[in-house]
């Protein structure tokens, strides 16, 4: 069993012993951690120079102008 599986099993055992109130606290904290991780990833992407402008440019491109990637790259 890998480390992640062991931690998940340990967490599951601990969760079974918690009251509904404490279980809600754990759920709220897990949601907070997931949100913080997502925010950190977003900030990392936004730090890439020109990325946001490029995304906006791509979003403004009409779908008719899109090319099928299989027609552009046959080696993928």
17-47, pLDDT tens digit by residue? 999 999 999 999 999 999 999 999 999 998 9
Phi, psi of 49 (to 5 degrees): -60, 130
Residue 73 has pLDDT above 70, yes or no: yes
Residue 1 has pLDDT above 70, yes or no: no
Mean pLDDT over residues 60-68, rounded?
84
CB of 23 closer than 8 Å to CB of 30: no
Tens digits of per-residue pLDDT, 42-62? 999 989 999 999 989 888 888
Q: Which DSSP string corresponds to the chain?
A: --HHHHHHHHHHHHHHTS-HHHHHHHHHHHHHHHHHHHHHHHHHHHTSTTHHHHHHHHHHS-GGG---HHHH-S--
Q: Give the residue among 40, 32, 75 at the shortest CA–CA distance from 24.
A: 32
């Amino acid at each position: 069993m890998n480390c992640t599986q062991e931690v998940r099993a340990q967490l599951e055992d601990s969760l079974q012993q918690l009251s509904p109130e404490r279980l809600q606290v754990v759920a709220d904290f897990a949601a907070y951690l997931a949100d913080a991780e997502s925010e950190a990833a977003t900030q990392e992407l936004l730090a890439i120079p020109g990325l946001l402008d490029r995304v906006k440019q791509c979003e403004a491109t009409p779908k008719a102008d899109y090319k099928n990637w299989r027609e552009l790259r046959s080696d993928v």
